[in-house]
Structure 1
Amino acid sequence: LFNRLFSCGLEFLLVLCGLELSWSCPRHCICYTAPSTVSCQAHNFLSVPEGIPPDSERIFLQNNKIHRLLRGHFSSTTVTLWIYSNNITYIEPSTFHGFTLLEELDLGDNRHLRSLAADTFHGLGRLHALHLYRCGLSALPNNIFQGLRNLQYLYLQDNHLKFLQDDTFVDLHNLSHLFLHGNRLWSLHQNTFRGLRALDRLLLHQNQIQWVDRLAFHDLKRLTTLYLFNNSLIELSGQCLDTLPALEYLRLNDNPWSCDCKALSLWEWLKRFRGSTSSVGCQAPADMVGKDLKQLQKEDFPNCSPTVPNSESRAQSKTSNLSGTVNPSMNGGVAVGSGGQTRIVHPSRPGRSRNCTKPRNRANKGKADNEVHHSKEVMADKEDSSPDFTDGGKYDHTSPDGTITRRKHKCTPRTTVRPPSGVQQANNRATLPQSLLCLYALLGALVTINIDYILR
């Protein structure tokens, strides 16, 4: 009689608490179903614990000391996998093969990972968020993101990346946010960002960028936010920025800008731009030091040839080339669009390399302390994660003047990454879900009633 009462009472309690426990669970972990979840955070595990139910959809292993990820550690039914803030140094290439349901993979803050096999993420067709921040990565293998056509968020900040191969992101047709700040990039080439036609935010600040190809941003027609502050830029052609018709927020501060004739096309572009920009502080020539390029007047460029073509050339560009791409029949000119208008921009010298910046000797690169303003991108931990840019949280960003950047809703809102429901967020202490506390309290009450019934 007691067993029957206990069984019925337990089923009642589970329904009452809205929870169905899973009886197969690794030691020191918390497991439950609907959806099937295993939470093993902050237990100093040195390896992936054994006994993870094979049908687990969500697995949380953050804040441990796990060293290696191998094939068979997880099941292909996994939808969400968090393994950030561990000591991972090696990921077997086949670890995630066949994980066709995986949507979010967080491998961030594994500072000794350093390298990845080219096929590590192949086949993850449903993945929409990939976290590889603070992993000590110095290079990305060719085709590492091949086939990730549903990826929307890619976190590569705070690594040691010096160079990005052409077409690294070419398959990421739906990527909306690319975080590359805090690396060691020094150049951006014509096909570095090819294929990123849905990109909304590109964060490149706190790198060492000193050279930008004139067509580096040619595919980024939906980009609204571009951060280039705290780099090594001396010049940047306005022709580069003319290829960004949707741009709203631009940050260029804390670069060693040369405000001579090389800055004229950027000055002219800034005069036409109707979005939000930071200051553009001049570091050269001597009579311009301390001035803001945005505040200069035409008279400050007395000996410079104009870069904006005359009205006849502009009218010709409208009728001869509306695509915004290079037209070989235009005597070497480049047709670029801005604000719905297309115009011809002719190179200043025949045969000159099509770039936005003038290459410099990297060996002579350096900055004085007073040239660097360490503006910091707000990248909140998962404890306070919120993907809505307009409401603040994980994906909000602090602009160089310390204010929060808010984007205007000009484009159709994209699917956001929400924290999984029904599980404690990342912290340094494992806590019991509220539903389990409810269960224990009601279970104690039931046992007390049953004992009192038997004694009678």
Structure 2
Amino acid sequence: MSALLRQIPANIPQDIRKIRIENSHLTELPRGSFENVSALEYLWLNFNNITVMHIKSLEYLPALKELRLQGNKLSSVPWTAFQDTPTLKILDLKHNRLDVLPEHALRYLPNLTYLDLSSNQLTIISRDVFYNWPVYQRSQRTEGPLEAISNAVLALHDNPWICDCRLRGFVQFIKSVGPPIILMNSYLTCSGPKFRTGKFFHEVELNSCTKPLTSALDTNLTVPAGLNITLTCFVQASPSPAVWWTYALKLLRTFNVSTEPISEDTVRSELLIPAARPADAGNYTCTAANFLGNASVAVNLRV
């Protein structure tokens, strides 16, 4: 079809079984995009500029077997849209901008034999995404008569995975997965944190997530006026927390704060007060927070 198309044509023959619109100017798939082509089996929309996919864009496509959306600009997909495509076997979403994969994402794709999510922006996902996938669930059944289960090829490589505690379950899943689920590339690599960049999943052991625990070597400090003083706090947490200092008094000066990891689950935060003055005396609080909670420790300074 014409490379100048900006929307799905309205005059497509009703009995058509394959549509291929590539390297065009499509930007969205609106509701009912294919309502008059219910016999459609193959839909290729690669290398367009699609950024939006309506939750009912695949309505009236019960016979669809193959959907290819490679090389578009999708940052999210309305996964419940696949309730309208129960026979879908091939879903190609590589080279998009997907950064989230919700736990229900694969629930409505019971007959997939090929799923490509490579070269997106996925950083953290739960193993429950795959535990909820009917293809995986069928493979885990141990009771009743055995059924023939088709292999399902899964591509997840070339995503910027952040290998901290939040990815622990997914890494364990990747290490243990086997037929009928076959990884196109089993050597998934970490893009962060820095000390794990470039490591393969099978090389890392990830700990469970923990809420911050703060401490200080000395919570009461006295310093003569005019001298520099450094306040230090330590935070144990996973994933790495945000850390900041607050000062109880109203007279504030700009101080230098540095925070750096000293081990896998511990960071050190230092607040430097140059040429301390009596007005700098008071309580300084070091606070740390991650998605599990927050904690703080106070350091009292006398000048």
2:151 and 2:106 map into 1 onto residues whose CA distance is 11
Give the whole-Å Cα distance in 1 for the aligned partners of 2:176 and 2:110: 18
Counterpart secondary structure, 2:172: helix
Retained in 1: the 8 A contact 2:23–2:47? yes
Q: Which residue does 1:301 correspond to in 2?
A: 206
Mapped pair 1:251 → 2:140: no
Q: Greater helix share, 1 or 2?
A: 1
Structure 2 unaligned spans of 5+: 136-149, 211-303
Equivalent residue runs for 1:20-169 within 5 Å: 107=1, 110-116=2-8, 119-121=10-12, 124-169=13-58
TM superposition shift of 1:192: 3.3
Q: What amino acid is the match of 2:23?
A: R
Structure 1's unaligned 5+ residue stretches are 1-106, 306-456
Amino acid at match of 2:39: N
CA–CA separation in structure 1 for the residues paired with 2:7 and 2:193: 43
Q: Deviations over 1:47-103 (max 9, x none)?
A: xxxxxxxxxxxxxxxxxxxxxxxxxxxxxxxxxxxxxxxxxxxxxxxxxxxxxxxxx
Structure 2 residue identity aligned to 1:111: A
Corresponding position: 1:213 with 2:102: yes
Equivalent position SS for 1:187:
coil
Structure 2 residue 80 is the aligned partner of structure 1 residue 176: no
**Change beyond 3 A, Cα 1:114–1:290:** same
| Alpha-carbon distance between aligned partners in 1 of 2:5 and 2:77, rounded to the nearest angstrom | 25
For 1:285, the aligned partner's letter is P
The amino acid that maps onto 1:258 is: I
Q: Could you tell me how far apart the structure 2 residues matched to 1:189 and 1:269 are? A: 24
Task: Answer yes or no: is the 8 Å Cα contact 2:76–2:100 preserved in 1.
Answer: yes
Length-normalised TM-score, structure 1:
0.40
Task: Work out whether residues 86 and 111 of structure 2, in 8 Å CA contact, stay in contact via their aligned partners in 1.
Answer: yes
What does 1:254-403 correspond to in 2, within 5 Å? 254-274=158-178, 275-277=181-183, 278=185, 279-293=187-201, 295-296=202-203, 300-304=205-209
Structure-to-structure mapping, 1:182-261, within 5 angstroms: 182-242=71-131, 243-245=133-135, 248-261=152-165
Number of equivalent positions = 191
- The structural deviation recorded for 1:167 is 2.2
Q: Which one has the bigger strand percentage?
A: 2
Partner AA of 2:5 in structure 1: L
Runs of 4+ residues deviating >2 angstroms? 302-305
SS in 2 for 1:276: strand
Counterpart-to-counterpart distance in 2, 1:137 and 1:198: 25
What displacement does 1:183 show?
0.3
Task: Provide Cα deviations, 1:183-203, integer angstroms capped at 9, x if missing partner.
Answer: 000112332322221111111
Which residue number in structure 1 is paired with residue 235 of structure 2?
none
Structure 1 pair 137–229 and aligned structure 2 pair: CA distance change class (3 A): same
Structure 1 residues 340-378: Cα deviation after superposition (integer angstroms, max 9, x where no partner): xxxxxxxxxxxxxxxxxxxxxxxxxxxxxxxxxxxxxxx
TM-score under structure 2 normalisation?
0.58
Report the alpha carbon displacement of residue 214 of structure 1 after superposing the two structures with TM. Answer: 1.9
Q: Return closer, same or farther for 1:134/1:226 CA change in 2, 3 Å cut-off.
A: same
Aligned-partner SS, 2:166? helix
